[in-house]
Amino acid sequence: MRLDRKDWEWVLTCFGTAVGAGILYLPIRAGLGGIWPLLILTALIFPVTMLAHRGITRVVASCPQPTDIVGAVEHDLGRNVGFAVSMLYFLSIVTICVGYATGVTNIVQSFLQNQLGIDGISRPILTFLLLAGLTSVILAGEKFMVRVTSLMTFPLIIMLAGLSLYMVPQWNGAILAQPFVAGDVLKNLLLLFPVLVFAMNFSPVCSSLAASYRQQYSALEAVARTDGIIKWTSLILLVFVMFFVFSMVLATSPEVLLQAQANNVDILTTLSLLVHQPLLKYLIPVIAFLAIASSYFGHFVGTREGLVGISTRLMCWNNPAKEAQLDRKKINAVVTVVMMVGLWFLAVFNPPILKIIGALSAPIIAIYAYLLPVMLMKRIPRLMVYRSSFASFVFVMGLVGIAGDLVGSYL
């Protein structure tokens, strides 16, 4: 099916959802693992990403009545299973928020110390000011937040693409010098795949995408249109993300990337300390900040909505009709404060971001986006028509996404 203008707008929305902190930390893990795991996963990640995300949209778009992923599951399997899915969705994005809060603090702290020569700023105070500033954009209202995000997203994409091209003359063969050792390649495949799952993930927007099309079209046409959107989004992400990763990896060295991992900073912050051009020295950290900040907005809102939904559902578990009488503004305010305090505490603690991505975020994303749709298509009669011979492949790759970091860390 040929995509129209609205379809391409959704492609850009899905693409913008995926481009965030993941793409900034992926080159570090990829470079540390050598060239062979990177080449192997480059060949695999397009079909894996497309099939997994297509599964989510098909569950929602094929539902007899327009709804989201939770409503679609509740329609077929009941309220308890729907609540479990809402919990899974919440967990899949709350861990990402922790990584974003930590990452944005580290970017600004490095910029202040290395580019501006400002030392001695308290990390708790800096973290609080940054999170308060970013969250204030969200509290200003949805329209303002969307306007700010759209103003940040397109320049960000252009700058990341431009930086990828700019680094081509700096490519070297340091990563190519690493020999092919089967045990090391397997270990690094397991460590790299969860981070790649995270970097290519746009599952938070898939439910909204499918629900929007189901409201306007029949189930059959909604599925066909969303299938096309998922295919093109996955293809564009493959080209954009992997070119950026290859460019950054080939322009640095394993020693530089190992230092970046030790400092718990992203590839752009690392790069800003290596370049000699004054403009790039200041511009590159700004690009990194925009990348994480633009993703922070959407994931904070999604996390808050998920937590509010879970809270209200638990408060009215025995009397669902009571939910309409709850004071939503008050609940929103309390949840926002709780999230701010939690994110502030964890960001001050400075947990290792690659470990958050590989051991927490990616496994939950894999359960939600890779395993759940496959299991639903085996269980729900109306979805059995969408079962394919690739289901086992997606399921196995989902298991790798769940256990990859844990197993790879002990090999």
Tens digits of residue pLDDT in 322-371: 877 788 788 888 999 999 999 999 999 999 999 999 999 999 999 999 99
Q: Say what the pLDDT of residue 112 is.
A: 93
Q: What is the percent of the chain where pLDDT is above 90?
A: 46
**Span 301-305, average pLDDT:** 81
Does the structure show a pLDDT above 90 at 61?
yes
Q: Name every residue whose Cβ is closer than 8 Å to that of residue 155 and which is 6 or more positions away in sequence.
A: 290
pLDDT tens digit string along 399-408?
999 999 999 9
DSSP 36-53: HHHHHHHHHHHHHHHHHH
Does the structure show a pLDDT above 80 at 320?
no
Q: Which amino acid is at 252?
A: T
Distance between CA atoms of residues 43 and 242, nearest Å: 10
| Domains of the chain, each with CATH number or no CATH | 5-410 (1.20.1740.10)
Q: Say what the pLDDT of residue 142 is.
A: 66
pLDDT tens digit string along 123-146?
999 999 999 999 998 888 767 876
pLDDT tens digit string along 8-25?
888 888 887 788 778 999
**Span 14-42, average pLDDT:** 88
Does the structure show a pLDDT above 80 at 243?
yes
Flag whether the pTM goes above 0.85.
yes
DSSP 380: -
pLDDT tens digit string along 144-198?
876 787 777 778 888 899 999 999 999 988 888 878 888 899 999 999 999 999 9
106 and 124 Cβ atoms separated by less than 8 Å: no
Q: Say what the pLDDT of residue 59 is.
A: 92
Residue with tokens 């059959």: 220
Name the more confident of 51 and 254.
51
pLDDT tens digit string along 251-287?
998 889 999 999 999 999 998 888 878 888 888 998 8
Closest CA to 37 of 244, 229, 182: 182
**Span 210-233, average pLDDT:** 92
| pLDDT band, very low/low/confident/very high, at 88 (cuts 50, 70, 90) | confident
Q: Say what the pLDDT of residue 130 is.
A: 95
235 and 47 Cβ atoms separated by less than 8 Å: no
**Span 378-395, average pLDDT:** 89
